[in-house]
Amino acid sequence: MALAEGVLQLIEDAAHQQEFKKVTTVWLEIGQLSGVEIEAMSFCFDAVTRDSIAAGARLEIIALPGSGWCMACSETVPMTELFGECPQCGGYQLQVTGGTEMRVKELEVA
């Protein structure tokens, strides 16, 4: 998957700037509404990093909950899917406010 390549690129850039040669753990923040499948990401991460500085690194996923602003209820409500309904009023007038993140948070390096 393409996103795993993006993760590796950010790691390689950091390695270049901060002069480390081995990555042992990678923390990713992945929003529930980002469309990223954790299993696919883990699988691809292993494949993409096989011959890289991050070969064998542990992948830690921090899942961030989805949330949206419901116009009808005038409040922030939890969301579990991108085009889902408001859990309070059942309406679809929801604007996503959180949960679409795809970020490399930090690395443990040696």
Partner 1 sequence: MCTTCGCGSDEVKIDGEHSHHDHDHVHADGTRHSHDHDHAPGAAHEHAHSHEHGHRYAPAHSHAPGMSTKRMVQIEQDILSKNNAYAAQNRRRLVERGIFALNLVSSPGSGKTTLLVKTIEMLKGRQQVTVIEGDQQTSQDADRIRATGARAVQINTGKGCHLDAHMVGHAMEKLELVEDSLLMIENVGNLVCPAAFDLGEAHKVVILSVTEGEDKPIKYPDMFRAADLMLMNKCDLLPHLSFSVAKAIEFARRVNPGIEVIEVSATSGAGMTDWLDWIERGAAGSRAQRRDAAAGIA
Residues forming the site for partner 1 (CB under 8 A)? 1-7, 9-16, 18-22, 24, 28, 35-37, 40, 43-45, 47-48, 53, 82-83, 101-110
Total Cβ atoms within 10 A of residue 50 = 10
DSSP 18: H
43 binds, among partner 1, Zn ion, none (CB under 5 to 8 A by kind): partner 1
| H or E element in which residue 62 lies | strand 58-64
72 binds, among Zn ion, partner 1, none (CB under 5 to 8 A by kind): Zn ion
Nearest to 71, CA basis, from 87, 94, 90, 89:
94
CB nearer Zn ion, residue 53 or residue 73: 73
86 binds, among Zn ion, partner 1, none (CB under 5 to 8 A by kind): Zn ion
Beta bridge partners of 39: none
